[in-house]
Structure 1
Amino acid sequence: MKRKRITAIFLAVCLLLTTAALPVSAEGFPYTWEKDGGGPHCESLLLVNLDTDSVAYAQNPDEKRPMASLTKIMTFIVAYENIPDIENTVITASEAVLDELEGTYSSTADIMAGEKLTGLQLLYLLMVPSANDAALLLANYVNELHAAGALPSSSAESGEEGSGVDSTQPDGGSGETGENAAGTENSDSGLEAGSEEDTNAGGEGAAEWDSGQDPTDYSNTYFVKLMNEKAEELGCENTHFMNPHGLYHPDHYATARDLYRITRYALGLPNFAQITGTPAYDLAATNMREEQTFYSTNKMFNNYEDNDGNNYFYTYTTGIKTGSLNEAGYCIVSSATADGYTYICVAMGSPMLDSEGNDIDYHGEMADSRELFRWALLNLEKKTVAAQGDLLGEVKLEYAYRKDTLQLVAGDNASALLPKAVNKSSVTIQCNVPESVQAPIKKGEQVGTATLSYADEVIATIPLVASESVERSPVITIFTQGKSLFTAPWFLIVMAVILVLVVVYIILMLLYRKKQKQLRRVKRFRDM
């Protein structure tokens, strides 16, 4: 008996450990990382099929993290939507604005005070070499337009709620202070967001800047308020901007899911896809420089090995934006298109420093993105899980002649991203319909909805419509309504009351007659 008890306890413990080791039901589809690649390298990953807007893979997609120069995707949006005729507008670089980056060791395009550049040129410099000076110049120009009355007040300025301000510090994003307060982006055009020499950037005890402007905190400016308002408009609940370039600040963060929302929106703007898909940008000669070529910080465009023998090239890469800081790690929002499919991958938090504070030159964010792209394009496909007219269910039908149920069919086609090996029969269908419907009803009339799921994840919701027209039967209607009348509680109560009254009346009548009969007997007796 004791041995059986010990065996039972041992099996229970094994079951508990096995259950604990099972992966938690996650969004998207399971993926086993390649052993040689050593992935995943990133803290947060989100792979989304843009054609279906469905998640293919997710890892901590809602964890708030520093976003470094991924910030500039939103900077592009706000600048493009608020600078009239931005492609042709000429902006003169202000020395005061450029001086605000002094000492930050930022990635810049070496824009000079007095240099004249069009808004389109600044957008290219913003996104291709990730130039912080281009970000500040665009933001400053929008601020000047607002100050001159050319742009309306933001909702935050007008006292409206929902300005998007949230002072919550990003999870795991406190970063380092003191030395090594910002990271580097290895590119031909310089450092992307900051460098190891940028001590205490935006942290406590930050150095005094000559311009008097904290280069990490522009939260009170019109442009940054617009950034936060736009984030809120796009449904980004876990994103907050403090500046237009991405230098580290504890209140400057986003999640992989929010960055996907922002990027998806940006792809709908003119020039965004073209600019972010440019491996090398030739800046035409300006009033202060000769023609110059700037190279993208996205190494997935480049088919060559770096000094450490790493090659991050992926032939189907189409964009979009990189970012790097010690606090943020290496980050990228990348896109790839092949065989009619387009994917966006947001990768955040591949480490730039090892446990001893030494530089890590391996771009895990690009390696992870490339591996996920390859897997998705080889193993996932868009499947039609329900075609318009497919019989999906039925519902009880009332007031129809010799017909008790109405068949329901799919009102639309439904497609979903699924593994190629998955059969249509693996998709479960749940019909959401009322208990019954009443004739008359027309063919194609919506009755309810059908929810299609795979592996406990909802993949589509489509309308359920009547498969045919059904007329109402007058006889059945009268009979049914009469039946419902006679069985209604209120009717039964009324009838019960009437019945009681009738019984009481009968009893009283009997008593009355009995009394009358007795009176007649008494009268007859007296007459005698």
Structure 2
Amino acid sequence: MKRTLCLFLSFIILLTSFLALPLSSQGATYKPDRKIYAEAYMLINLDDDSYPVVAQKNIDERLYPASLTKIVTAMVTLENVKDLSVKAKMSQTAFDASAGTGAQVAGINVGEELSVDTLLYLTMVHSACDACEVLAEFVGGTKDNFVKMMNDWVKKVGCTDTNFTNPSGLHDDNHYTTARDMSKITLEALKNADFVKYSTTTEYEYKGYTLPHTNLMLHPGYVTYYYEYAQGIKTGSTEQAEYNVITKASKDGYNYLAIVMKSPQQKIKNQSYLTKCSFVDAKSLFEWAFDGLKYTTIVSKDEVLGEVPVENGKDADTVQLVCEKDTNVIVPVGLDKSAVIVEIPEKPTSLQAPVTKGQKVCNANIIYGDEVIASVQLVAGKTVELSTFLKMINAIKAFFGLTVVKVIVAIVVLAFLLYVYVFFKSLNKKKKIEKRRQARRDAHKGPDDLPPPRR
């Protein structure tokens, strides 16, 4: 019996040792409160490096850029010509490319030489198509090679649905882009100081003429379009493209970029004349944003946004989840913070101690008007030290909670009970046999076994 029990205990210890071994992963868009005529538009805040889009419509619809193309022409030139004072000559081929098309030109004659600097001003201020043709031949060697450089450049800045067939934006069914791609192009261009200089120049003196920027929002004489806070950048129009404008505005410390595409020319507000609605749209977007939106601290640093259990924690079984830093978001003026909802989609079921204050845990979504307006990092609000005792207790509980361990323990218990049953059954059997033997011995005792009588 002792030998059997020793073997049983040895088996349990060995099994336990074996099982203890290891077994084999900001901003919201809003709807402007006024009419916007354009087929597609974007309004982008420039005050945050993430460039949040605050309003948009049909931003992935394929449209014709017209002279917005010249933004890319200017950038390819600026990135490939170091000395902007160098001169380029108008060839017959370059002249013929825009002659007779009705396109805007600067009147550059065949054989005439102009500096790249002058050609860039003519391109970005006057939207001169003939200047683009000169730049294309000068920079690319041939126009076809320059167009290839243009298409390579837009892919480099992340465009996925843009294709150019010429440097000026003359209509071609295969010459297209989207508002989203134009935003990528323009945001990249605005990083270049020379581009900003050329594209925001209000007027340029050329051959005794003052050439005004084609963005009519810059000129007080155009009462319907003028917007005192507007700056540059580029316009574009053809019969097929209708009216496009990309422009920037700054007011009260806020800066926005508007991209307006395929806006019509029509009578508006009971006017008797036709209005180029691209400028009206851009102005409306700016006014709406400056008057109705503002940066607001939607959640503050160390603000408690949730709680999570802590396993094996010393003196604490939960830890608060707090915001890592102040989160500023562009929201409507007068936002009711009680309407803001916090959602933690990937909150862990628990954390293992030790937990350090400031330890990153998960993200929370800040929701307003059924839209995520910010995603914030949540961190542990305090330090929770490890309790070695609790860790040992929980480890034992976890071990004996394993299904395989439960099965083995059940088998062992059943084996032990079976052993006890067999042992006592065997013992009882031995007792019965001994009893029968004793009975037989008693039965064999008779008279011959009596002692002799006394004399």
Q: TM-score, normalised by structure 2?
A: 0.83
1:342 Cα shift?
Answer: 0.8
Aligned residues of 1:391 and 1:409 also touching (Cα < 8 A) = yes
| 2:214 equivalent in structure 1 | 297
Q: Secondary structure at the match of 2:181?
A: helix
Alpha-carbon distance in 2 for matches of 1:382, 1:64: 32
* Structure 2 gaps, min length 5: 1-27, 268-272, 445-455
| 1:478 equivalent in structure 2 | 392
The alignment's C-alpha RMSD in Å is 2.3
1:222 Cα shift?
Answer: 3.3
Aligned residues of 1:381 and 1:420 also touching (Cα < 8 A) = yes
Alpha-carbon distance in 2 for matches of 1:497, 1:84: 84
One-letter identity of the residue aligned with 2:52: S
One-letter identity of the residue aligned with 1:257: R
Q: Secondary structure at the match of 2:275?
A: coil
1:130 Cα shift?
Answer: 0.7
1:313 Cα shift?
Answer: 0.8
Aligned residues of 1:46 and 1:345 also touching (Cα < 8 A) = yes
1:392 equivalent among 297, 305, 308: 305
1:29 and 2:30 correspond: yes
Amino-acid identity (%)? 34
One-letter identity of the residue aligned with 1:327: Q
| 2:356 equivalent in structure 1 | 442
Alpha-carbon distance in 2 for matches of 1:270, 1:86: 15
Alpha-carbon distance in 1 for matches of 2:403, 2:374: 42
Aligned residues of 1:47 and 1:345 also touching (Cα < 8 A) = yes
1:96 and 2:93 correspond: yes
1:59 equivalent among 57, 60, 63: 57
| 1:22 equivalent in structure 2 | none
Deviates more, 1:403-412 or 1:118-127: 118-127
2:36 equivalent among 35, 40, 46: 40
Superposed CA deviations along residues 308-364 of structure 1, whole A, max 9, x for unmatched, are xx631110011111000110101111111110011111111122489xxxxx84211
One-letter identity of the residue aligned with 1:267: L
Alpha-carbon distance in 1 for matches of 2:427, 2:136: 105
Superposed CA deviations along residues 244-294 of structure 1, whole A, max 9, x for unmatched, are 2111111222222221221111111122222111111124xxxxxx45532
Q: TM-score, normalised by structure 1?
A: 0.72
1:507 and 2:430 correspond: no
1:373 Cα shift?
Answer: 1.1
One-letter identity of the residue aligned with 1:294: L
Alignment of 1:364-443 (within 5 A): 364-431=277-344, 432-443=346-357
**CA 1:505–1:297 in structure 2 vs 1: closer, same or farther (change >3 Å)?**
same
| 1:170 equivalent in structure 2 | none
1:443 Cα shift?
Answer: 1.4
1:424 Cα shift?
Answer: 3.0
1:458 and 2:372 correspond: yes
Aligned length: 407
2:127 equivalent among 121, 127, 130: 130
1:267 equivalent among 190, 214, 232: 190
Aligned residues of 1:47 and 1:58 also touching (Cα < 8 A) = yes
1:526 Cα shift?
Answer: 6.3
| 1:242 equivalent in structure 2 | 165
Aligned residues of 1:86 and 1:118 also touching (Cα < 8 A) = no
Aligned residues of 2:70 and 2:168 also touching (Cα < 8 A) = yes
Aligned residues of 1:80 and 1:86 also touching (Cα < 8 A) = no
Aligned residues of 2:41 and 2:179 also touching (Cα < 8 A) = yes
2:225 equivalent among 312, 317, 329: 312
Alpha-carbon distance in 2 for matches of 1:397, 1:229: 53
One-letter identity of the residue aligned with 2:401: T
1:449 Cα shift?
Answer: 1.1
Aligned residues of 2:140 and 2:149 also touching (Cα < 8 A) = no
Alpha-carbon distance in 2 for matches of 1:62, 1:488: 53
Aligned residues of 2:126 and 2:213 also touching (Cα < 8 A) = yes
**CA 1:376–1:487 in structure 2 vs 1: closer, same or farther (change >3 Å)?**
same
| 1:179 equivalent in structure 2 | none
Alpha-carbon distance in 2 for matches of 1:140, 1:524: 127
Aligned residues of 1:326 and 1:351 also touching (Cα < 8 A) = no
| 1:141 equivalent in structure 2 | 138
Alpha-carbon distance in 1 for matches of 2:328, 2:196: 26
1:467 Cα shift?
Answer: 1.4
Alpha-carbon distance in 2 for matches of 1:425, 1:106: 55
Alpha-carbon distance in 2 for matches of 1:268, 1:435: 45
Of Structure 1 and Structure 2, which has the larger fraction of its residues in helix? 2
Aligned residues of 1:410 and 1:463 also touching (Cα < 8 A) = yes
**CA 1:108–1:513 in structure 2 vs 1: closer, same or farther (change >3 Å)?**
same
Superposed CA deviations along residues 147-182 of structure 1, whole A, max 9, x for unmatched, are 9xxxxxxxxxxxxxxxxxxxxxxxxxxxxxxxxxxx
Alpha-carbon distance in 2 for matches of 1:223, 1:503: 90
Aligned residues of 1:326 and 1:352 also touching (Cα < 8 A) = no
Alpha-carbon distance in 1 for matches of 2:135, 2:258: 27
1:447 Cα shift?
Answer: 0.8
Alpha-carbon distance in 2 for matches of 1:394, 1:40: 45
* Structure 1 gaps, min length 5: 1-26, 34-38, 148-217, 284-289, 355-359
Aligned residues of 2:293 and 2:330 also touching (Cα < 8 A) = yes
Alpha-carbon distance in 2 for matches of 1:234, 1:507: 82
**CA 1:371–1:500 in structure 2 vs 1: closer, same or farther (change >3 Å)?**
same
| 1:8 equivalent in structure 2 | none
